[in-house]
Structure 1
Amino acid sequence: MQPPDTVRTVAELRARVAAWRAAGERIALVPTMGALHEGHLALVRAGRERAERAVVSIFVNPKQFAPTEDFDAYPRVAEKDRAALAGLADLVFAPGVNDMYPPGFATEVTVAGPSGGFEGAARPGHFAGVATVVAKLLIQCAPDCAMFGEKDWQQLQVVTRMARDLDLPVEIVPHPTVRDEAGLALSSRNAYLSPEQLAIARKLNVVLSRVAGELRVRPVAEVLAEGRAELERLGFGPIDYLAVAEPESLTPLDVLAPGRPARLLAAARLGPVRLLDNMAV
């Protein structure tokens, strides 16, 4: 199977999408920063179940990286990514930085509410960068649906709220977190882990599963404190947060009401990697 074609300009992207629209076909968009893994490919497959055409955008977005983060080191493997998409995607949209943010670019999309804590607090400006680039991609491609993984739960809520608030004519579709055989949430940055660190990382999901199981039957603060202590004993650290929140607003919860949904969220550092995970409570 041949890899999908790649276009680099908005005009080329819109021309392809317009032809599909004229043929009465639906379009799914999967926004990515490349370095594709099975989690990304699962999103593409899910998109194909909802639409006749699938577009994958590959763009390492500088606006969502802080100056101290790994923008320059972030893996860029374009040909490997295209090969992985053979038989899955119809088109790759891979713009350059100047295509997305030409000289004089002066607009930023900010989303209050779900962006306020957790990643929003740990990475100031991150979600403004995410919301800005996703808004541009949704406008550029004008898909019927856009697929986002639940691993980045807070990002999913920010994007969903943005699309709703701006009346963007697109369905934001969540997809369950894809995990490896040991339960570790797949991430492009997992490639930075040594074998020893990978063995530790695979215990994160185990701890979170135990914590999530106990939150309904024991005091929230007590269970979370024990969870943090266990992660530290295993070798994680620092732990940016281990918390339980209302799933859409991301408002932290100190008490869980019977029958009300809640989400357990964690961010813990391990060597060069900052691991994120979450699960329903």
Structure 2
Amino acid sequence: MDIFHERASLRKELHSLKNQGKTIGLVPTMGALHQGHLSLVGQAAAENDIVVVSIFVNPTQFDNKDDLSKYPRDLDRDISLLHTVHPTIMIFAPDVAEIYTDDISSSSFDFDGLEFQMEGRFRQGHFDGVGTVVKRLFEIIEPDHAYFGEKDYQQLQIIRTLVKKHKLPVSIHGCPIKREENGLAMSSRNERLPDDLRNEAGFIYEILKTSRAQFGTKSVQDIKTWISDKVNEHPKFRLEYIEIANADTLIPARQKESGRKYRAFIAVYAGEVRLIDNIALN
């Protein structure tokens, strides 16, 4: 397993492989890997000759400095986990200077309004940070394919828009959400949850599944109100938002329209830890 910390050495190796006709799949991560990440790596390994996993905690996508400082980091553990998937994965673990040189700031992007919905309303500048680092990784690695989990569905749609608008030569693949035994969407942030909250947080997915069952018979507003009431009944959890939106445009739905696909999106605080999830409704 090759580990690169500098973009120049990584690019040299990748150019040699591309000249041999090898296809490259990229899985961008911020480390603290879990089985959800490993499923992305497994899919990338099945569909490409070479897999690069980037491990980089991107400072510009955090709107909360405390959240950035508490983000879990354990490169040795991440390397051990990746070795269980495939022994020849290439790891790119740069420091901040390798990605941002002297100016640790985001570029500004126009994502056709996707950036103003849900997460964009509550995390100022977040998607400019995401766009900046993902575009930079694509420029450094030049992958043929890149893999992202649907837990961050809004991010997935934004990256697809980034690729389209900037004419980047990479195919984007969305991969299903992986869940813990109780239904909680797998996330690096779950490691910060006390055991009792982690066990109880499965109720978020149960609520989403029930809302999917209700979608055929109840109105959008009735479902949102029901979800809000259910979360607010729980003394250990605090709802930040619940939204039902068009699955393509992410524009919030006021009423259901025939022929449209919809998803429910939720953000909940479990103590100090912010959890997000989503589900296809039809």
Fold equivalence (TM over 0.5): yes
Which amino acid is 2:79 matched to?
A: R
**CA-CA distance at 1:105 after TM superposition:** 6.0
Provide the rounded CA distance (Å) in 2 between the counterparts of 1:138 and 1:183.
32
Does structure 1 residue 73 correspond to structure 2 residue 70?
yes
Deviation per CA, 1:85-120: give whole Å up to 9, x if none. Answer: 115252100110111111146660423321111100
Of 52, 55, 77 in structure 1, the residue corresponding to residue 52 of structure 2 is 55
Q: 1:115 maps to what in 2?
A: 115
Deviation per CA, 1:235-265: give whole Å up to 9, x if none. Answer: 3543111111011211000111233201110
Q: 1:94 maps to what in 2?
A: 93
Q: Secondary structure, in 3 states, of the residue corresponding to 2:135?
A: helix
Consecutive aligned runs of 4 or more in structure 1 exceeding 3 Å deviation: 104-107
Q: 2:177 maps to what in 1?
A: 177
Q: 1:207 maps to what in 2?
A: 207
**Counterparts of residues 185-196 of structure 1 (less than 5 Å):** 185-196=185-196
Provide the rounded CA distance (Å) in 1 between the counterparts of 2:199 and 2:103.
46
Q: Secondary structure, in 3 states, of the residue corresponding to 2:143?
A: coil
Deviates more, 1:198-207 or 1:96-105: 96-105
Which amino acid is 1:100 matched to?
A: I
Of 32, 36, 42 in structure 1, the residue corresponding to residue 33 of structure 2 is 36
Aligned residue pairs: how many? 278
TM normalised by structure 2 equals 0.95
Q: 1:275 maps to what in 2?
A: 275
**CA-CA distance at 1:234 after TM superposition:** 2.4
Provide the rounded CA distance (Å) in 2 between the counterparts of 1:161 and 1:74.
27
- Provide closer, same or farther for how the CA distance between residues 195 and 252 of structure 1 changes in structure 2, counting only shifts above 3 A: same
Structure 2: any 5+ residue segments left out of the alignment?
none
Identical residues among aligned pairs (%): 36
Which amino acid is 2:259 matched to?
A: G
Q: 1:227 maps to what in 2?
A: 227
What is the root-mean-square deviation in Å for CA atoms of aligned residues?
1.4
**CA-CA distance at 1:36 after TM superposition:** 0.4
